[in-house]
Amino acid sequence: MTHLDSAKAWREQDPDPVTRAELDALITAAEDGDVAATAELADRFDTRLAFGTAGLRGELGAGSNRMNRVLVSQAAAGFARFLLARESHPSVVIGYDGRVNSDVFARDTAEIMAGAGVRAILLPRLLPTPVLAFAVRHLGVSAGVMVTASHNPPRDNGYKVYLGGADQGSQIVAPVDGEIHAAILEVANSTTVDLIPRSTHYETAEDDIVEAYVVATAGIAGESSAPGATPRIPVPFTYTAMHGVGYETSRAVFDRAGFAEPTVVVEQRDPDGAFPTVAFPNPEEPGAMDLAEATASAAGSQLIIAHDPDADRLAVAIPDATSATGWRRLTGNEVGTLLGWRAAEREVARGGTGTLAASIVSSPALVAIADHFGLPYRDTLTGFKWVSRVENLAFGYEEALGYLVNPQSIRDKDGISASTEFLAMAGELAAEGRTVADRLREADEVFGAFASSQVSVRVTELAAIGRIMASIRDARPTAIGGIPVTQTDDFANGFGDFGPSDILRFWMDGGSRVIVRPSGTEPKVKVYIDAVSHDGTAEQRRAAAEATVAALTAGAQELLAE
């Protein structure tokens, strides 16, 4: 079948007038000999978005290689087949954020699940991803679906899947992703979307599910105090939802926890799938927190709390007189270190032996914390689906702003619960006359100064990622940034307890580390750089670690340029 034939067949079953009109225009132009239209059809129909361990994620538009109602309907029907093959009476809870078509995709999923005989429960309105992840466990259902593209570009949307039961509400991992993908292909190859059974007899959850999440999450503030800590003082802070769905739920949690009334970045408070004030709705990206910093400076805030659009990630900024903006954005590793330290203190105080865990590209600082407190530590592959599955987990994080502080009630990263924990910590420090910056300096003294950095290259074609990784493997560096490589670990065929993965890890003279891997959610190759120093004062340790990171960062840029 030619791309033109595929486009016509797709158009005939497409229930969305917008994407049908897209295809009509492309088909007409291609039939008239338009080369660009022909190339566009090839891009849209050469392949299809694969259902992987992150579910589906891609640009909105018509075609099998885009996110649209046809693809989502096929995914829902395939996932329903998978669930029905696993158990006789499966159930699913479905949530959605504020991106374009998220509500439409969620309702399509609810109708198709119900039509297939799966008990389907739709969350009452657009809500953060952590509420959906919480609902999977709270309701005791077989599975969860969250329609979101998290912090991806504005034109993207996605379809994230969780499993209950033995999976405890974690995201799917292999081989389940492949089994679901096979079931989706069976649907796509055997029927058209208009013939997939649907039913409007699905349930809509009441607000009590949101209230249950709010109560459980606000409760962290009452449980999180370090042993013997002074009662906390509410810290003035600024909050931004980054045009996402975090504000309403976060505000309810903050109120119940007794925190200060936040100064809100009004321009970014309400859900808006166009994300008008940011070029890229990811608090890690340059410029994304500019409005929050300006708002916080005007309000005299002592802290900035930022969520990504579906509120599963947390970004933090603290005052810094040496910065041009007056603010210092903490890295995911710094926040992970502080939250992990609190978790370790609490675990030891209660006589527990819970495990601290982080992805292998996250800072080794958490290993030092676990060693200091005599607690188990576990490295995982990248992706929170792995962190959340660690047995006896007390705390887990990944450097990409993802933190899990309450594994007893949720098994995914949660920016709202992490905010609650961080604000509680800041309040306790304030009661002692100290700041978050003071606590970071103390970490350098107790555990050593850990510094980290990232280098990445964004590609326009995915094939370029494979070429970059192959080039580095074929000519493995003997030094990076002038620092000798002492050992290279290639995960391509598995390494230690890890299965095959496209990761290269270089151990450097002096104990620093460089890891190269493709991004799991964006068209990028990423390099993660970590260094540590235990020598001298806290300031001397910090300076030495950062100098090593600077040298390795320059070397990594050269590595990616080859």
What is the distance between the terminal CA atoms of the chain, rounded to a whole angstrom? 39
Per-residue b or e along 488-519, where b marks 16 or more CB atoms closer than 10 Å to that residue's CB: eeebeeeeeeeeebbbbbbebeeebbbbbbbe
Distance between CA atoms of residues 73 and 83, nearest Å: 15
Active-site option among 91, 142, 150, 170: 150
- Provide the phi-psi class of 326: left if phi over 0, else alpha when psi is between -120 and 50, else beta: left
State the amino acid at position 502 in one-letter form. D
Tokens of 229: 């800590």
A 10 A CB-CB count for 260 gives 17
β-pair type (393-398, 355-359): parallel
* Start-end of H helices in 1-101: 3-13, 17-31, 35-45, 69-86
Inter-residue contact 98 to 126 (CB < 8 Å): yes
Query: Which sign does the torsion angle of CA 224, 229, 233, 237 carry?
Result: negative
> What's the residue count for the chain?
562
Inter-residue contact 7 to 23 (CB < 8 Å): yes
Query: Which sign does the torsion angle of CA 372, 329, 301, 309 carry?
Result: negative
Sheet of 402-404, strands arranged across: 377-380, 355-359, 393-398, 402-404
Tokens of 443: 């970490």
Inter-residue contact 245 to 271 (CB < 8 Å): yes
Inter-residue contact 472 to 558 (CB < 8 Å): no
Instruction: Clarify whether 150 is annotated catalytic.
Output: yes
84: number of CA atoms within 13 Å, CB side?
16
- H or E segment and range at residue 314: strand 314-319
- H or E segment and range at residue 351: none
β-pair type (377-380, 504-508): unpaired
* Active-site residue list: 150
